[in-house]
Structure 1
Amino acid sequence: MASTKVIKLVVISDVICPWCYIGQKELLAAIDQMASIPNLCPVKFDIEFRPFRLLTSLKDDEPPVEKDKWYTARFGKEKYENIQQMVGVRAKKVGVNISWDGKLSQSTAAHRLLQKAWKTGGQRLQQPLLTGLFKTFLEDAKDIGDKEVLAECAAETGAMSKEEAIEFLETDEGLAEVNSMIADTKAKGITGVPFTIIDGKWAVSGGQTADVYVQIFTKLASMEVPTPTETATTLSK
C-alpha cells in the first residue's frame, strides 16, 4: 500500500475579505477533488490559517463603521458598484451570497479566536471556526468586532463554549502573537490576501479556482515538482 503524502498548507487571510472566503471555498473544493483522481498515492492535508489585517486604518478599539459608507469612501461609488458585481458573480459560483450590508470593525479579535482554536485543536477546530466567521460577516452581515457575535460563532462551530470565548476575548491573550504574525507576514513582502503557502515552497496568491490547486496537489502527490505559473510561484529563500 502506498504511503500517505502529507501536504502542508498555510493560508494567510482576513475574515472580512470576500476573496479570502471565495479562496477558501475553492481550496476545499480542490481537496475534495483529489480523492477522485486515479493512480495517486493517498493525500492528507494539514491546513493552518494565519492572520492578516486589511483595514490598517481602523484601530481595534474604534467603533464599527457602516460597510457601505466605508467602501464608497475608499473606492468611490462607481468602482465600489463594480466590485460588488464582480465579487458577487464569482462568489455565487462557489455557493456564497455576499452581503454588503452591516458594519466594519477591525478583525483582530476574530484572529485571536482563530489562533486559540488552532492551539487547542489544530485544523479540527480552526477550520470550522474560520468558515463560520466568514459566513457570519460576509453573508449574515454581523459585526465581526462584537464579542457576543464572535462567541456565538465559536460555540456554534464547536471551537469552544460561548462562555469560554467571552472569557478569552475579555483578556489580551494571543494579541501579541497575532500582531507578531501579521508583522512577520508583511516583512516577507506579502501585501495581499488570500495567500496560500504549499509545503513551505510554493505560493498561490489571490482567490484562484480549484483547478489551480488541483494541478499543484497532483504534481506533489506524484512526487513531481510543480511548474511555476502566473498564479503559482516558488517562494524565495
Structure 2
Amino acid sequence: MAIIEIQVISDIICAWCYIAKRNLDAAISLYQKTYPGGKEDTFLITWTPYYLDYNPHPFSVEKHTLIDVRLPDTTPQQRTALTERMNRLGRGVGIQFNWGGKIGPHTRDAHRLIHLAQIRWAESKLDKDGEMQNTLVEGLFEAYHVLAQDVSERSVLRSIALRAGIDAAQVDRWLDSDEGASVVDQQAKESKEMTNAGVPLFIIQKKHRIDSASDPVDLMRVFIQVRKMQSS
C-alpha cells in the first residue's frame, strides 16, 4: 500500500481552484479504479490557505463592483470571453458557476474552518480518508461559486461546517473565537512566498509541483510515479 501526500495551496474565492479540486477528485477516482492495487493506496490531502485579497474593503461588497480592480487592463469583450471560457471549463467538471453574490473582506474564517477539520481528521480514527475535510472544502467552494453565498458570513460558514459533520458546539466555539487564525495567517504568508504563478498549486509527495488546475490524467501520472518509487 502506498501513501500519496498532496498539498493543495488555494483560496476559496478562486474559480480555478474549484476546477482544480474537481480535477483532483477525478484523478484520484480514476487512479483507484484503473491502477492495479490503487484502491488500497491512501491519499493524504492537506488544504493550505492562500489569501487572494480580491476585496480591498473591510466589509462585503457585490462581486461585480470589483471587476475593475481585478481586471483593470481588459476590455468588456475580453471579460465576456473570459467568463464564457470559465463557464465552459466549469461545466466540464460539473460546476455551474454563478458570478453574482457578495465577496467578503477576507477568507480567513473559511480557512480556519478547514484547519479545524484537519485537526479533527488528525484526532479521528474513523475518518481515515479525510472525508470531513473534503466535504467541508467542497461545501465552501460550492457556496461561493455556485450558490453565490458570502463565505465570510458566520451563518454561511456554520451551515457548511455542520453539513460536513463537525459538532455544532465545536463549530460555534471556533467561530466565536480567533482560534487557528495565527496558524492560517502564517501558512498564507508562506504560500505567497513559495508560489510563482499564484494558485492553485499542487505539491505531491513534497517535491512534484503542478502550477495549474491540471488535467486529471496529468495528476494520475504523478500518482503512478510516486507509487512506483515507493514500490521500488
Code of the residue aligned with 1:107 in structure 2: it is: T
Superposed CA deviations along residues 180-215 of structure 1, whole A, max 9, x for unmatched, are 001112222445111011000101111111011011
Structure 2, unpaired ranges of 5+: 123-129
Shift of 1:39: 3.7
The answer to whether the 8 Å contact 1:129/1:159 transfers is no
Superposed CA deviations along residues 47-86 of structure 1, whole A, max 9, x for unmatched, are 1101001116536xx1111101112442153333222111
Q: Who is 1:30 aligned against?
A: 27
The answer to whether the 8 Å contact 1:99/1:139 transfers is yes
Structure 1, unpaired ranges of 5+: 225-237
Shift of 1:218: 1.6
Q: Who is 1:71 aligned against?
A: 67
TM-score by length of 1: 0.86
TM-score by length of 2: 0.87
If each structure's helix is expressed as a fraction of its own residues, which one has the higher value?
Answer: 2
Counterparts of residues 37-186 of structure 1 (less than 5 Å): 37-40=34-37, 42-55=40-53, 58=56, 62-75=58-71, 76=74, 77-105=76-104, 106-122=106-122, 123-161=130-168, 163-186=169-192
The structure showing larger relative contact order (alpha-carbon pairs under 8 Å, at least 6 residues apart) is 2
Q: Within 2, Cα distance between the matches of 1:36 and 1:189?
A: 32
Shift of 1:137: 0.6
Shift of 1:158: 1.0
SS at match of 2:149: coil
Q: Within 2, Cα distance between the matches of 1:160 and 1:47?
A: 22
The answer to whether the 8 Å contact 1:114/1:126 transfers is yes
Q: Who is 1:230 aligned against?
A: none
1:6 corresponds to 2:3: yes
SS at match of 1:48: strand
The answer to whether the 8 Å contact 1:148/1:166 transfers is no
Question: Measured at CA, do residues 64 and 79 of structure 1 come closer, stay the same or move farther in structure 2, by a change above 3 Å?
Answer: farther
Aligned pairs, number: 219
Aligned residues: CA RMSD: 2.0
Q: Within 2, Cα distance between the matches of 1:81 and 1:223?
A: 45
Q: Once the two structures are aligned, what percentage of the paired residues are identical?
A: 27
Counterparts of residues 195-210 of structure 1 (less than 5 Å): 195-210=201-216
